[in-house]
Amino acid sequence: MGLLTDPSAGHGKAIKLLLKYYPKLCVFLYVVGIAYFCILASPQFNGATYFSENALLPGLVKSEFRDEPAAKQYHAELLDEMKKYEDSLPYSWLLAKFQQIGLDTYTHNFSLNYPLGKGQKFPGKNVYGIIRAPRAASTEALVLTVPYRPKTSVHPTTVPSIAIMLAFAKFAIKEKYWAKDLILLITEHEQLGMQAWLEAYHGVSCGTSGVLDSGDMKGRAGSIQAAINLEFHDVDISKIDIKIEGLNGQLPNLDLFNLANKMCMKEGLEVTFKNRAADKVRTPFKDWSVSWRFISSLPKKLRIFYKEWKYSFVTLMNMVSTQATGTPNGNHGLFYRFAIQALTLEGFGPTNSKQPRASFYTMGRILEGTFRSLNNLLERFHQSFFFYLLPAHHRYISIGLYIPALALLIATLYIKGYAKWCQLHETYSIEAEVNSENVDTAKKIVNKPSETKSIEEWKKDFENECNNGINEENHGYGRMWIVFLIFHALGFCVPFIPQKAVEIGAQFGYQLDISILIALSIISIIPIVLPLVIRIPHQMSMTFLNIVLLMEFAIALNWIAMFNISLAMFLGAIYIPLALLINPSTCKRCTITQKLIWLLAHPAVVAFCTVMIYTYVSFPNDSIKENLGRSYMSLQKALRFSIEDYLIYGNNLFSIATCIIFPIWSCFWFVTFTPLQQESQENIGKEKKQQ
């Protein structure tokens, strides 16, 4: 603040160079930041994963699991039982099996009061059992969970996961080395059941009050340290994909990911991340030498480098796109809110006869090794990384590597903001000097009044001349702050509008998705037409508003990056170059160009383009017309799902879009309506000459 309020600011050589070259500097920093982030996918610029917590001791456990026949029997029995329950959980059969094994068995009832429909209530039930630790006082616990999917589910079956869970429970209850309780949980309605169980277990409510009734918990174990979610879709597994993205972009401790990776590889099973195996291409940089032979072979090595980088970059972008949504890609993602490290092991069956197959025996050995390693933990996960990106299942990019990329992007906003402030300060000083000269002239005129004007009339004109240009009201600062507050208040009200819109739309016979789309469309149009109603009569107030918005956007990206770096990079890559182009200008062509460019950056347009790109990637063979129609329908569902996630789970994506991005966009849009600066001093001079 001392630099911003220093009267001598902007007069040094460094400041003058900054004012002269800051546009080029901003472009340079933006390009370097994007290029730096992209190049991090290359193995030459990231690191290999490693264990920080030696207490896990992976690979040192001698596997003793031999209950494969029991798993096959459970699988066959459950398939027969599912015929009686087409769309619900066969809790009677599950309770019976848990009790036969010897677990402390409980049921958990919950219900959802659907937030976007009046009177709609959906009940659900979870089943869980607890293996009490024989060598501890139930102070800590581990969780093994499976989402139950009935025959009517659109997702792949998880019956093999329940079968191996029961077989593992039968094996684990006989062992005496457990120092932590083992909780075996089967949830209904996917993440909804998982969220209700976690809320009931911890006695809290995470979403909007009154939406999810988590019910009462009859049986508890110790404080949960870690959780493994299973999604095996076949009896014979050819590969396991590890899923880690959680709510609001949170990730588990990297040691837990390394543990699951290590145990799968120990059993000879292929491990993938984002359904992509590790790149087999090797870039022989270490074999390079300064010789003519090296120079002649450089193009081939560069091609190898590019191929390796491209494969890792696609994997990295898959993780970034998933993390940016803030939506968990499995039940594991809801544990992070409670400081519980979790991940999902998703097993896929072989697609051809040549692929290797792993049976229930191998799956049981992986579970045994994982939970026995977690059983060795003496404290919560605290070492290794919680903030990282993965270009492969065995490579990682730490926060110390990727955060400079975002810092370079955000630096452009601070640089332009400070440059505009110095220019504004200089303009204000020059105008004040000009006005002071007019005051002296006006004083002389007042002392020699004209024959046609009285002394009182000249004094009144003099006061108007003195106030012209340097008065805050004439500059429009008061009206500027009113506009700033209006747009932000509108953004904070948007999350409360969909529920009312659905109620009103139902009275007119509109469907839920259409009602939400119409309401949000009306809200989006309000800031577009508001500049036609509220006008600010001076360019200086617009410049000051532009500075405030640059600082606000930079601070917002810093805050978002603290918990979701992918979302911050996504927003920064799109909006920062466009925000740098917005400048208060009296040139009609410039303002029209800025309006057209900034309209394309409207949050609704960005959301539709994102959905359209995802649709095109998913259906590349369809026509453009078909993909446009599919994108429109997908946008409606995406809006509804984002609102539901916000109200039920507390997903921040919808609130960030409405309470941060939308108000900032609206204020920048207002800046593009900079009025022509009134040259009041020239008008005064003309009047003096005429007189």
User: In CATH, what number is assigned to the domain containing residue 194?
Assistant: 3.40.630.10
Same domain, 413 and 498: yes
Confidence (pLDDT) at 431: 54
Task: State the residue range of the domain holding 142.
Answer: 54-281+325-393
Domain finish residue from 357, 374, 393: 393
Contacts of residue 1, defined as CB under 8 A and 6 or more positions apart, other chains included, come to none
At 159, give phi and psi (nearest 5°): -60, -45
Same domain, 600 and 525: yes
Same domain, 361 and 220: yes
Same domain, 618 and 666: yes
User: Which residue pairs from 577-583 have beta carbons closer than 8 angstroms and sit at least 24 positions apart in sequence?
Assistant: 577/30, 579/413, 579/549, 579/550, 579/553, 579/668, 580/23, 580/26, 580/30, 580/412, 580/413, 580/416, 582/546, 582/668, 582/671, 582/672, 583/546
Same domain, 539 and 431: yes
Confidence (pLDDT) at 284: 44
Instruction: Report yes or no on 620 lying in a domain.
Output: yes
Same domain, 200 and 227: yes
Residue with tokens 């997702």: 155
Same domain, 15 and 63: no
At 342, give phi and psi (nearest 5°): -150, 160
| Cβ-based neighbour number of residue 21 at 10 Å | 12
Instruction: Report yes or no on 316 lying in a domain.
Output: no
Same domain, 345 and 481: no
Confidence (pLDDT) at 383: 85
Same domain, 119 and 17: no
Domain finish residue from 365, 393, 421: 393
CA atoms within 13 A on the CB side of 402: 25
Instruction: Report yes or no on 443 lying in a domain.
Output: yes
Instruction: Report yes or no on 95 lying in a domain.
Output: yes
Q: State the Cα–Cα distance between residues 131 and 183, nearest whole angstrom.
A: 6
Same domain, 35 and 111: no
Q: What is the Cα 284 distance to its own chain's centre?
A: 36
Confidence (pLDDT) at 682: 42
Instruction: Report yes or no on 229 lying in a domain.
Output: yes
Residue ranges of the chain with per-residue pLDDT less than 70:
1-11, 58-60, 279-298, 427-476, 537, 675-691
Confidence (pLDDT) at 19: 84
Same domain, 7 and 27: yes
Bridge partners, residue 241, by sequence: 272, 346
Instruction: Report yes or no on 680 lying in a domain.
Output: no
Domains contained in the chain, number: 2
Instruction: Report yes or no on 689 lying in a domain.
Output: no
Q: State the Cα–Cα distance between residues 568 and 566, nearest whole angstrom.
A: 5
Q: State the Cα–Cα distance between residues 312 and 42, nearest whole angstrom.
A: 7
Confidence (pLDDT) at 289: 41
Checking DSSP bridges between strand 223-232 and strand 341-348, what pairing results, if any? parallel
Q: What angle do CA 228, 151, 333 make, to 5 degrees?
A: 25
Q: What is the reported pTM?
A: 0.86
User: For 441-453, what is each residue's pLDDT tens digit?
Assistant: 444 444 444 444 4
DSSP state of 358: B
Same domain, 9 and 78: no
Domain finish residue from 360, 393, 426: 393
Instruction: Report yes or no on 98 lying in a domain.
Output: yes
